[in-house]
Structure 1
Amino acid sequence: MRALIVEDNTEIREDLTRILKKAGFVVDAAADGSQGLYYALEYPIDIAIIDLGLPEVSGMDIIKNIRTKNLDYPVLILTARNRWQDRVEGLEAGADDYLDKPCHHEELLARLRALLRRTGRWAQTEFDCGPIRLNTSEQRVYLNDEEVSLTAYEYKVLQHLMLHAGEVISKTDLTESMYDDDSDRDSNVIEVFIRRLRMKLDKDNTLGPIETLRGRGYRFTLPRNNQ
């Protein structure tokens, strides 16, 4: 799950980044509106936290651009502004919720999870695709109720595929879901992780949970059990 933070206050930005990473998110953090707008439009974001009062490009304009491009991921406004008109304008621009600064970490995470559930990007903390069960809060994976030992990167790849079960996910999108913004990205390792996941989840080659679509990417073939 990839989160975008656009906040010009260094202390708040670093604090939010730490909280979200601890909660299992891959985080892109921007210090100004121009950088934030680029991330918002070009990266495979699942949810965004955007401050309204930003240098270069306002938070309001970022939200409007996100919706103009028909990107439907949820947006949470984080603001120190007291005018109710600002909140209304933000919601009318396309934001899904707002939270005043300073905020409690527990409330922030609860709001984010509620938005993800509401938009169907994170229906619950645990979900099944065939015999494979993934728990997002514990970051554990089970096959026929037996836990499967995965590395952190293997888990991130599998989570992204299962959250988008049935969709074609490009190698680039998978790579972006694995690495934080300040990490060196190597898309070639995706093939290694896919091969390892197939070996761990489908030793007998009977399930076929991950399909390779040459030149297009990968697709998790097992549908959600609750759909």
Structure 2
Amino acid sequence: MFKRLKITDYDFKLVAFIIAINVIGNLAVGSANPLYVKKELLGSILGFFLMVVVSLFDYNVILKFHWLWYFICCGLLIAVLVAGHASHNATRWFNIFGITFQPSETAKIMLIIFFAQFIMKYREKINTLMFLASYFVLCGIPMGLIYKQPDMSTTIVVATLVLSVLFVSGISWKLIIGAITVAIPSSIIFLSMILKEDQTLLKDYQRKRILSFFYPEKYVDNAYQQANSVIAIGSGGLMGKGLNNNEITSLKNGR
């Protein structure tokens, strides 16, 4: 179950990159809002510790229990709907001794492990209707639970993850092209439907969130992140404004 590792077995170049990214991230967060530094730093330390612990396990053993990870994932997503902490009309978190835990974030890792092993186990059948039907049903259960919270953005992220795993598995290009051929007109029809004010497919805030991506000027309140990103780039330029300077001004002035 545990691997006998020597210190020389670690890829220190990779470890150095991970540490560098965390340092840059903590500096950036601290520059934007010092109140979040302690939480960000704690997350970095905990993540580094977990990285070392997980590296001691034989990954084949982890993959062996892929169904366990899947059921734990779904169990946590069900539990958060029943006994989770509600905030802003969404029930996505557990609040344990003042520490907020979001199961959908853990679900991403568990689902990658599960579907990677699921595909490895049945890789000779990946182009069959039975396999694909099973795959999408298994995808749909956790995605449906996440959407129920409601958390559309994470649902889309999870969908992207599981489709990416399927894509790199070696699935037939005929199936991929066929799926794209169906997806493009379906997306156009879907967008044309949600443009209508009286549509019932999505909740109003979800509809506005999607439309704000295409029409940020019309849905300013819902395009807050996009708008501020553009303003920040215009204000800081290519070189930025340095640490501990989180002021942004108009894009026109660019100062």
Which is greater in Rg? Answer: 2
TM-score normalised by the shorter chain: which range applies? under 0.3
**Which has a greater percent of helix?**
2
In the superposition, the TM-score normalised over structure 2's length comes to 0.26
